[in-house]
Structure 1
Amino acid sequence: MNAHSGRFISEWLAWAHPQPEQARREWDAQGVALLPCGRQFAAVRIPPLLVHAAVGTEERRALAEGLAFGLGGAVIHDGHVTSPYYALIQWHAGMVWDGAEDTPCLATNTHYLGVPHWSRQQPPGPHWVVPPRYEGDVCRPQTVRLFIARARQQLAPLAEG
């Protein structure tokens, strides 16, 4: 992605904040901005166990490729092995998300997410595992549901045994 595209993506993300300039300042100062969910996007929190089961690996590069293919939109991770992944979805889809207790959707202005600058694509710290390719590049809710269902299906034999 070039800087020109990145600027449009940054602007789209910054407008999630009621004061977009605040998001820009946070990205400049620490590389991550605390943005409210429910304006530009919502975020489905997916535990690492489910992500690794659905993709079939914990290796970083293969995991990123598997998430890009399996979810088809932007995904954030904070870099810790035990930390959840956040699949961005359309903000309005978050209002009707019907996921399980372990895969909630952050969808209202009372939920905030640490969103890395578009260029932050490597750990340590919060980064894009699958960076947005254009403004509004989010995962389809049905795709996220299917991804989670596939993970649960992969884990079912382990739970039974």
Structure 2
Amino acid sequence: MTSPKTSSEHTDAPSSAGALVSTRQERELAVGTWLLLSADSRDRALEEWRTGGIALLRCGMRFTAVRMDASLIHAAAGSDAPKKVREFLAQVLHNGPVFADQHNRRYYALVPPSAADRPEWSKPRRGAECLARGSFLGVPRFDLSNPEDAFSYWVVPMDGPGDLCPALTVSQLVAYGHSRSADEGP
């Protein structure tokens, strides 16, 4: 009797739904390739990821980001424990990609470029801002997902190329964080 394949093993067999099953590494490679489409220089971005774990990518073509203070996210999540924050963000943002910058105490939710044109982001909000088209963002390498391994890491990794957070949901998260911060008081 053979053992069933685990989700990380490769198979070329179609799943029961007819889609090909892919490995985590294949998805990470596809995500990395997609992210690199926002680099001014693919080779330079690859070198930045290799040597420092972070590459400067331009917002506005494939994605932009909502930058949020950690205090806002922790208030919304009711915790600053990485595992609880990860679970909370994955749930409320429908597994949309979010990374953390531990040094600057910020979280970044990747959203469609059109989010920058939404009325709620026409000006910065307390503790949150949608980055404008043409802004540069230091994005961690697609396989960095452990807060103990890097100061910038994926809290909720990108599932696949173009899988972004819904902009309205990120706006609601910010409002909820503000509400929870006000409830907690000074």
TM-score, scaled to structure 2: 0.79
How far the C-alpha of 1:101 sits from its partner, in A, is 4.5
Deviations 1:34-81, CA, capped at 9 Å, x for gaps: 11111211100111111011111111111111111112200011223x
> Where do 5+ consecutive residues of structure 1 fail to align?
none
Give the Cα–Cα distance (whole angstroms) in 2 for the partners of residues 76 and 32 of structure 1.
Answer: 11
**Percent of aligned positions that are identical:** 33
How far the C-alpha of 1:3 sits from its partner, in A, is 1.3
The counterpart of 2:132, out of the listed 104, 107, 128, is: 107
> Where do 5+ consecutive residues of structure 2 fail to align?
1-22
The structure whose Rg is larger is 2
2:17 maps to none
User: In the alignment, is the contact (CA less than 8 A) between 2:120 and 2:171 conserved in 1?
Assistant: no
1:77 maps to 100
User: In the alignment, is the contact (CA less than 8 A) between 1:14 and 1:21 conserved in 2?
Assistant: no
2:20 maps to none
User: In the alignment, is the contact (CA less than 8 A) between 1:41 and 1:107 conserved in 2?
Assistant: no
Aligned residues, how many? 158
The counterpart of 2:163, out of the listed 137, 149, 154, is: 137
Give the Cα–Cα distance (whole angstroms) in 2 for the partners of residues 116 and 93 of structure 1.
Answer: 21
TM-score, scaled to structure 1: 0.90
1:116 aligns with 2:140: yes
- Partner of 1:92, secondary structure, is helix
User: In the alignment, is the contact (CA less than 8 A) between 2:115 and 2:130 conserved in 1?
Assistant: no
Give the Cα–Cα distance (whole angstroms) in 2 for the partners of residues 97 and 129 of structure 1.
Answer: 27
1:30 aligns with 2:56: no
Give the Cα–Cα distance (whole angstroms) in 2 for the partners of residues 157 and 12 of structure 1.
Answer: 40
Give the Cα–Cα distance (whole angstroms) in 2 for the partners of residues 27 and 54 of structure 1.
Answer: 31
User: In the alignment, is the contact (CA less than 8 A) between 1:42 and 1:105 conserved in 2?
Assistant: yes
The higher-RCO structure (CA 8 Å, 6+ apart) is 1
How far the C-alpha of 1:20 sits from its partner, in A, is 2.2
Aligned-partner residue type, residue 140 of structure 2: P
1:95 aligns with 2:117: yes
* Segments of 4+ moved more than 6 angstroms: none
Aligned-partner residue type, residue 149 of structure 1: A
1:45 maps to 67
